[in-house]
């Protein structure tokens, strides 16, 4: 499935990338979402850790992976993000056996777009 653009939405929930992936925590009050893989260079978008903040990255890909880094100053270290297609529908992602429409930091590595979807 291909999408011509991507929207990143920060969610207030309770609960840089090129291979190899190395977990790094930003030293600020923002969330950093990185899209990588495919033929496009990795793109990192920084957004405030506020409920339902939506931004559009500067590049549309194609991308294969996504990761979230939560800044040390973010009060909710369990913040989650969601990637939406142009129609506003969530894009399904996977990491290991986990399949979801939202993703967190957790220091466990990259999430991959299910079914090889690129943006």
Residue where the block lists tokens 């207030």: 12
CA 115, CA 94: separation in Å to the nearest integer? 9
31: three-class secondary structure by DSSP:
strand
What does DSSP assign to residue 107?
Answer: T
d(CA 35, CA 90): 15
Q: What is the pTM of this model?
A: 0.72
pLDDT for position 103:
92
3-state helix, strand, coil in the chain (%, to 5): 5, 40, 60
Say how far apart CA 74 and CA 23 lie, in whole Å.
Answer: 17
Which pLDDT tens digit goes with each residue over 32-50? 989 888 777 888 888 888 8
Mean pLDDT of the chain: 75
């Amino acid at each position: 499935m291909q999408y011509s653009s991507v929207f990143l939405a920060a969610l207030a929930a309770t609960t840089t990338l090129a291979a190899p992936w190395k977990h790094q925590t930003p030293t600020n009050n923002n969330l950093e979402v990185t899209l990588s893989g495919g033929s496009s260079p990795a793109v990192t978008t920084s957004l405030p850790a506020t409920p339902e903040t939506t931004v559009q990255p500067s590049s549309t890909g194609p991308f294969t992976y996504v990761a979230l880094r939560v800044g040390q100053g973010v009060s909710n270290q369990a913040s989650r993000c969601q990637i939406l297609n142009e129609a506003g529908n969530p894009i399904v992602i996977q990491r290991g056996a986990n399949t979801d429409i939202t993703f967190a930091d957790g220091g466990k590595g990259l999430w991959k777009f299910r079914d090889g979807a690129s943006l």
